[in-house]
Amino acid sequence: MPLFVPAGKPREVLTAFDFTQVGAVDFGALAPGESVIGVQVVIDQVFDDPSTLISLGLVSNPDSILSTADVDPTTASTYAQQANILIAVADAFRLKVFPFASTQGAGRVVALVG
């Protein structure tokens, strides 16, 4: 859920995910003229199936920010990208999680939008 930030200042867009989530989740509405400044996918608890896939992009361009090759869900870490993407039309973030046979795993996305 987006946090309130006064006009003209960057705002954080946050969402959490875990092994029970399967498929694409759209979150964090983006307005035309905004920029995605940077994003982090944080794996707080490792996923126990090594075939788990996680990626982050935009609805208009899935996997465009952090692809499945950029995020290792079996390693607790922070995966970051300086995005600097200008939003031309209304859009939103798209997180894709495919945990397959994982019985554990959790993380979160933190994005800075300005």
Each residue's pLDDT tens digit, 24-48? 999 999 999 999 999 999 999 999 9
Q: Is residue 80 part of a domain?
A: yes
CATH of the domain at 94: 2.60.120
Each residue's pLDDT tens digit, 74-112? 999 999 999 889 999 999 999 999 999 999 999 999 999
User: What Å distances lie between residue 39 and 20, 48, 99, CA to CA?
Assistant: 23, 24, 21
Q: Is residue 4 part of a domain?
A: no
pLDDT score at 5: 43
Q: What is the mean pLDDT of residues 45-73?
A: 97
pLDDT score at 7: 57
Instruction: Answer yes or no: is pLDDT of 3 > 80.
Output: no
Q: For the chain, how many structural domains are there in total?
A: 1
pLDDT score at 84: 87
d(CA 35, CA 47): 31
Q: Is residue 69 part of a domain?
A: yes
Instruction: Answer yes or no: is pLDDT of 4 > 50.
Output: no
Tokens of 61: 């361009």
Q: Is residue 91 part of a domain?
A: yes
Q: Is residue 93 part of a domain?
A: yes
DSSP per residue over 26-74, as a string?
Answer: EEEEE-TT-EEEEEEEEEEE--S-TT-EEEEEETTEEEEEE-TTT--TT
